[in-house]
Chain A
Amino acid sequence: MMNQKHTPNHDIIARYTDQPQRLPVELRAQIEAAWGGRPVQLYALADLDASMRLAELWVVLGPRHVAIARPGVTREGWDLLSIDRSRIRAVRESPGLSGSTLSILGEPDDPALGVVRFTNRQRRAFENIKFVLEQQLEGRTIEPKDADRQYAESVAGPIKEAQALVAGHRMAVIWRLLAYLRPYRRQVAIGMGAAAVITLVSLVPPYLAGFLIDRVVRPVQDGSTGVAAVASIAWLAVASMAVVYLVRQAGALVRLRMLSVLGEWVARDLRTELFEHLQRLSLSFYSRKKTGSLITRVSSDTDRLWEFLAFGIVDVSLSLVMLVGLSVVLISLDWRLGLVMTVPVPFFCYAIFLHGERIQQLFLRAWRKWSRVTDVLSDTIPGMRVVKAFNQEDREAGRFHERNDDVTDEFSRIHHLWTTFWPGLMLAVHGTTVAVWAFALPRLLGSATGTPTLSAGTFVSFLLYTTMFVAPIEIIGQMARIMNRATTSAHRVFEVLDTEPEIVDVAEPVRLEPVAGHVTFENVTFGYDGVRQVLRGVSFEVEPGEMIGLVGPSGGGKTTVINLIARFYDVTGGEIRIDGVDIKKLDTGHYRRQIGIVLQEPYLFHGTVLDNIRYGTPEASLGDVIEAARAANAHDFICDLAHGYDTVVGERGHTLSGGERQRVSIARAILHDPRILILDEATSAVDTETERNIQQALDRLVAGRTVFAIAHRLSTLRKASRLFVVEDGVLKETGTHQELLQKPDGRYRKLYQLQRELA
């Protein structure tokens, strides 16, 4: 039996779907036996039956067969329909709103060999199978491996794109977060100790008040003791009171100072760790996640965690201590009155919890309506020209008005709820105080037995203690929400930290000093998602100093070729060699320092022009910078800027035009002096005059390096030593401009003629 690898994808399937984590073991065995031991290569779950009910059917692909398995009707086990792959003439997928049908067809006018239906959740898995079969029809053989992984990845994929980590148990996340406190153990201990002292010490004043009344005031007033006899006790009590308050505020000082800074340190550590990790992650991670969501993780999520670590934990734990302490003191002072006071407390906490849940629901509804208000804004403000052109101002205003009123109603409902709840709760708390009075009075006056069984001092202490119940009850009631917020933020942070970089260096990486620029592709295949391949068996050899023009339709694989040369991704099959060394064995950082890339949309960082030109080589001299800028045709316009090379550009800085930005980025590449240069549509976004300027700059840049240039305008590639036509993931033609024009049916020739007609 295959060993069953357990991946996070399997956890996701188990937790978030109601479908099996993998092909049932007995079914796999049954199928492989029916195929004479040939292995299962891919499989997918067809989760709809012919009558469109949710069901469990499996479509399994092997090297020679496709099997469709459905649960046995009459007996245990599976009914198997095995289709010989050589009989398949076509595969047809009819997509519907929520369910698609896959038909495996034989000869025309014959009934389908097999028909299965499935929901969109299974679609990626089916597309994999369909892709392999379609490739077979075109005469290409693909032998997928690790069917379990492919299945789990395709089913878990959409969920993972929304939430990459299976939400762990809340407590596990909290423990992991608390582990970040470990380096600051001393501060934690002092802070928590101080907080505990504050809590315990605040139990003292009510007790002292009762003590004074029973031992000093009453005996003196009813004449049983002289003033002189108790004066020292009285003053001692006053002094203790002063000490208590002093200790309490000193404790508050220590607590606040220790813990607020501590939260800040932990937040800083998390931010640093996150940012460093983000730098290491591969580009595929960034294509999955929205930039905005990553920015909030580093900024606001860590900030929320600060709040939790600095105050949340302490507040919650001390409120618990306080409630227990109060209950113990009250019951030990007088157990009957103590019970009257403490028994309702859990109910109050529960009421606050329920109220929180209810308000959460109301907020959910209000947020939904709020998003409808902002929808109108984000619709109409950028689209104001259209609104005005169609004279729809009144309608838009009406729409906004309606939604604005609607959301206000929701918020009014929320205000109505909490303004009813809190006074009501306070009334209940006061109700217990009244109950204490009602129980206490007969005993104070001794109306039942004739002698009082409760002292006035104890009664006063009690009344003072009851006021102390309110704050901790509030905090405990909100504990669920506090924990929830913290775990959510922590989870979002850990999600990033737990993502493994896909490109990792081997144990002893090779450093090429310097890179000569000899690039070899040997039978390279690549797919961004497992089965479907973007490049198929691409082989070529490029000598140092050659300039290669990559041409072909968009989506054909040109950009993938340069992404692989820069090692933003690793090949799925075959090998790329730089100067004869497998690219996977190179020291990635060192290798990338010798690669220069000029993109279609050059990216300038916020900073001066000088910083931007020196981005890759911070140690370059000012003279070198000017020389690079001159070569890039950028020196003149930079000199025209008010602050010259010290002009701040990039986001919120001075705005440069597209052509100017491009020339700055070329200057950056020239200064960087790369051995391998990649130009990705470097001139396609500018006008002809600017293009000429840039082209001149590029001509200077490419001299003496190995260059890979992608261009739609074929005229920009006139200097290329060879042209590669990449189409449909395959290298279709290679040769010089002249050679390719000679080919009567050549694709390059066709492209070239098409562009000349348009020009």
Chain B
Amino acid sequence: MGAGRSTRPAAGAVEVTMKRGPYAEALKPTARRAAVAKSALEAETAGLRLERRIDGQLWATRGGDRRAVWVRRCFPWTGPTRYVSLRDDDEKEFALVRDLNEMDADSRAALEEALAEAGFLLRIARILAIDEEVEIRNWKVDTHHGRRTFQTRLDDWPREVPGGGLLIRDVAGDLYHVPDPSDLDRNSRELLWAFVD
């Protein structure tokens, strides 16, 4: 019992010493949060270069470290041009790009290209028909990429996305975006009426 106490002080004791000790200032929650965010994020983008290889793969270089990376937007709808995570083949984060504007022009172009590819979804230009069947809803639409027929489950409603517009997910997982429902032609608006607030 006595040995236990000497090697392992009670949890409360640790807290007390740390609060009074040299880390006291840094341990204040706000200071800690800000410091972590600032130092880490700045360090990650500093000296970061991106390029697209001839095989189409995006490569990132920072210092002597160089590897193939994948892009993932942290906030695809809330902030599409901010906080882009660059991930390596092991799904570990290699760097977090805080803002695309912080990159040099070439890197930025390479990143934008990769983002456009990864963020591709079908943008709806016109709705031709919406029919209900057993268990599924059948949509016929014109997208900016061509005509498409797809299905959603009856209880799977289109959702509003933070950046604006309506997002519809079909049974295969494809996404269809209506950037501004009020911008559609009259017939489309009427068909979509029940799904828009």
- Stretch of B15-23, B36-44, B118-126 that contacts chain A: B118-126
Spot the interface stretch: A29-37, A155-163, A253-261. A155-163
Q: Are B157 and A368 in contact (CB under 8 A)?
A: yes
Point out the residues of chain B lying under 8 angstroms from A48, CB to CB. 120, 145
Cα–Cα, bound, A165→B173 (Å)? 20
Residues in chain B near residue A112, CB distance under 8 A: 54-56
Chain A residues closer than 8 Å to B155, beta-carbon distance: 371
A211 to chain B, nearest CB (A): 51
Question: Which residue of B55, B143, B147, B172 is within 8 Å of A158 (Cβ)?
Answer: B172
Expressed in whole angstroms, the Cα–Cα distance for A18 and B128 within the complex equals 14
Q: Is A105 an interface residue (CB 8 A)?
A: yes
B194–A159 CB distance below 8 A? no
B75 within 8 A of A: no
Residues on B with C-beta less than 8 A from A419 are none
Q: Is A364 an interface residue (CB 8 A)?
A: yes
Which chain A residues in 103-151 approach chain B with CB under 8 Å? 103, 105, 109-112, 115, 119-121, 123
- Identify 26 residue pairs between A and B in the complex whose beta-carbon atoms are under 8 Å apart, listed by A's number: A48-B120, A53-B145, A54-B146, A54-B147, A55-B146, A94-B117, A97-B118, A98-B120, A103-B57, A109-B54, A110-B55, A111-B55, A112-B54, A115-B56, A120-B173, A158-B171, A158-B173, A161-B171, A162-B136, A162-B171, A163-B133, A163-B151, A165-B134, A365-B195, A488-B134, A495-B134
Are the CB atoms of B157 and A371 closer together than 8 Å? yes
A: which residues have CB within 8 A of B?
16-18, 48, 52-55, 92, 94-99, 101, 103, 105, 109-112, 115, 119-121, 123, 158-159, 161-163, 165, 167, 361-362, 364-365, 368, 371, 487-488, 491-492, 495
Q: Which residue of B53, B135, B151, B172 contacts A120 across the interface (Cβ within 8 Å)?
A: B172
Is B194 touching A52 in the complex (CB atoms < 8 A)?
no
Instruction: Kindly identify which residue among B55, B76, B149, B193 contacts A97, using a CB–CB cutoff of 8 Å.
Output: B76
A167 CA to B194 CA, complexed, in Å: 24
* The 7 A-B residue pairs with the shortest CB-CB distance in the complex, in nearest-first order: A54-B146, A99-B120, A98-B121, A365-B194, A364-B194, A121-B172, A120-B173
Nearest chain A residue, comparing its CB with the CB of B118: A96
Tell me the complex Cα distance, A345–B135, Å: 34
Tell me, rounded to whole Å, the shortest Cβ–Cβ distance linking A602 to chain B.
32
**Contact yes or no, B173 A92, CB < 8 A:** no
Q: Which residue of A lies closest to B120 (CB)?
A: A99
Q: In the complex the two chains form, is B55's CB within 8 Å of A98's CB? A: no
Interface pair B117/A99, CB less than 8 Å apart: yes
> From B133, which residue of chain A is reached at the shortest CB distance?
A167
Closest to B195 in A: A368
| Residue among B56, B171, B174, B176 making CB contact with A101, cutoff 8 Å | B56
B94 at the interface (CB under 8 A from A): no
B194 touches A94 (CB 8 A): no
Known: A53-B146, A364-B194. A96 touches B55 (CB 8 A): no
Instruction: Determine whether the beta carbon of B119 is less than 8 Å from that of A96.
Output: yes
Q: Which residues of B contact A488 (CB under 8 A)?
A: 134
Cβ-defined contact, B133 with A96, below 8 A: no
Contact residues in A for B119 (Cβ distance below 8 Å): 96-97
Q: Which residues of A contact B153 (CB under 8 A)?
A: 162
The binding surface of chain A is classed by DSSP as mixed
Q: Indicate if the CB atoms of B56 and A159 lie closer than 8 Å.
A: no
Q: How far is the CA of A94 from the CA of B58 in the complex (A)?
A: 11
Known: A98-B122, A112-B54, A368-B157. 15 other contacts (CB 8 A): A16-B138, A16-B150, A17-B149, A96-B117, A99-B117, A103-B55, A103-B56, A111-B54, A121-B150, A163-B133, A167-B134, A364-B195, A365-B194, A492-B135, A495-B134
Name the CB-closest residue of B to A112.
B55
Complex-state Cα separation, A468 to B22, whole angstroms:
94
Contact B149 A492 (CB under 8 A): no
Q: Is the CB of A16 within 8 A of B149?
A: yes
* Contact yes or no, A119 B149, CB < 8 A: no
Question: What is the CA–CA distance of A371 and B120 in the complex, to the nearest angstrom?
Answer: 29
A99: nearest residue on chain B (CB-CB)? B120
Chain B residues with a Cβ under 8 A of chain A = 53-57, 70, 76, 117-122, 133-136, 138, 143, 145-151, 153, 155, 157, 170-176, 193-195
Report the Cα distance A10→B142, complex, angstroms.
24
Closest to A95 in B: B118
Write out the residue numbers on chain A whose beta carbons fall within 8 Å of the beta carbon of B76.
Answer: 97
From B176, which residue of chain A is reached at the shortest CB distance? Answer: A98
Q: Which A residues are in CB contact (< 8 Å) with B176?
A: 98
Point out the residues of chain B lying under 8 angstroms from A105, CB to CB. 55
Indicate which residue in A99, A111, A361 contacts B193 across the interface (CB closer than 8 Å): A361
Min CB gap A17→B, angstroms: 6
Contact of A94 with B134 at beta-carbon distance under 8 Å, contacts A54-B146, A103-B56, A110-B55 already known: no
A120 to B170, CA, bound (A): 10
Q: How far is the CA of A52 from the CA of B121 in the complex (A)?
A: 9
Complex interface: chain A residues within 8 A of B55 (CB): 103, 105, 109-112
Given contacts A48-B145, A97-B76, A98-B120, contact A120 B136 (CB under 8 A): no
Q: Which chain A positions have C-beta within 8 A of B122? A: 98, 119
B143 contact set on A, CB distance < 8 A: 54
Query: Smallest CB–CB gap between A432 and chain B, Å?
Result: 32
Asked whether A163 lies within 8 Å of B136 as measured between CB atoms, the reply is yes
Measured between beta carbons, the chain B residues less than 8 angstroms from A365 are: 193-195
| Complexed CA–CA distance, A368 and B133 (Å) | 17
Is B117 touching A159 in the complex (CB atoms < 8 A)? no
Contacts of A491 in B (CB 8 A): 134
Rounded to whole angstroms, the CA-CA distance of A92 and B193 in the bound complex is: 41
With both beta carbons as reference points, the residue of chain B lying nearest to A51 in the complex is identified as: B145
Which single residue of chain A is at the shortest CB-CB distance from B115?
A: A96
Q: Which residues of B contact A162 (CB under 8 A)?
A: 135-136, 151, 153, 171
Q: What separation, in Å, do the CA atoms of A54 and B151 have in the docked complex?
A: 17
Known contacts A112-B55, A491-B134; A97 and B121 CB within 8 A of each other: yes
Q: Kindly report which residue of chain A lies nearest to residue B89, judged by CB atoms.
A: A92
Contacts of A98 in B (CB 8 A): 120-122, 173-176
A492 to B135, CA, bound (A): 9
Query: Which residues of A have CB within 8 Å of B138?
Result: 16
Shortest A100–chain B CB gap in Å is 9
Closest to B190 in A: A361
Smallest beta-carbon distance A70→chain B, Å: 15
What is the CB-to-nearest-CB distance from A463 to chain B, in angstroms, rounded to a whole number? 42
- A52 B174 Cβ-Cβ under 8 A: no
Residue among A98, A111, A120 with most chain B CB within 10 A: A98
| B70 CB contacts on chain A under 8 angstroms | 94
Question: In the complex, which residue of chain B has the Cβ closest to the Cβ of A406?
Answer: B197
Contacts of B53 in A (CB 8 A): 109
Q: Is B147 a contact partner of A96 (Cβ separation < 8 A)?
A: no
A205 vs B155: C-alpha distance when bound (angstroms):
51
Are B120 and A96 neighbours in the complex by a CB distance under 8 Å? yes
| Complex Cα spacing A97 to B118, Å | 6
A111 to B122, CA, bound (A): 28
> Which A residues touch B171, using CB under 8 A?
158-159, 161-162
Most A CB within 10 A of own CB, among B150, B153, B176: B150
